[in-house]
Amino acid sequence: MDWFPENGLCLGLYRHPAFQRFVTDCLEETQLYTFDDPLAGVVANIMPEGSSLPWHYDTNEFIVSLLTKKPLSGGEFEYCPDLREPGDEHYDDVKNVLDGQRDKVKTLSLELGDLQIFKGRFSMHRVVEGKGERHTAIFGYAKEPGFIGRVERTQQVHGRVLQAHIDAEQNARSDGLDD
């Protein structure tokens, strides 16, 4: 997020009260908050041709993504809704998906400009390989103010951490799930 211009379109949309209210209403929440994390509130996901995003869960409960460049083919979003829940990772279900079982897998083909609102902390998901680049702007919101990602996960995702991540490391996650 620290690489986006402060007065640019992405940060403007992310912080705009009407957009936040729209996302909050879609998720049937009372209030959502932008991240205090200096890296993760807004992220550009640039997937070169032939790349994929492996199965994972998100660090935060809600993700909003905007497809800004669609690949020529492929690049579908696959997900397993509610595969885990607070306090229970459902490791057997995860193993089954990783071993190729497809009964819990759903596929979504996004179009250019599609806005996707997704509960990625509980639904394992990935992006399959595509022909041509795939670009997505990703906006993160939290139920509680002050969200900052953990050091290890931030290092994995962004390749660096800042002092804010080190300072926030002592705060335990209330849902008991791994990042």
> What would the pLDDT profile of 12-55 be if each residue is shown by its tens digit?
999 999 999 999 999 999 999 999 999 999 999 999 999 999 99
As a whole number, the mean pLDDT across the chain is 92
Q: pTM for the whole thing?
A: 0.86
How many Cβ atoms from other residues are within 10 Å of residue 178's Cβ? 11
DSSP string, 117-162: EE-TTTSEEEE--EES-EEEEEEEEESSTT----HHHHHHHHS---
Q: Rounded to an integer, what distance in angstroms lies between the CA atom of residue 64 and that of residue 116?
A: 6
Give me the torsion for CA of 74, 80, 88, 54, rounded to 10°. -10
Look at 3-12, 127-136, 154-163, 170-179 and tell me which has the smallest mean pLDDT.
170-179
At 171 the pLDDT is 66
Q: Residue 94: phi, psi to the nearest 5?
A: -60, -45
C-alpha 175, offset from chain centre: 17
Instruction: Read off the pLDDT of residues 49-88 as tens digits, 9 standing for 90 and up.
Output: 999 999 999 888 888 999 999 999 999 999 999 999 999 9
**Domains in the chain with CATH codes:** 9-168 (2.60.120.620)
For residue 52, what are the contacts with CB-CB under 8 A and spacing of at least 6? 126, 127, 128, 129, 130
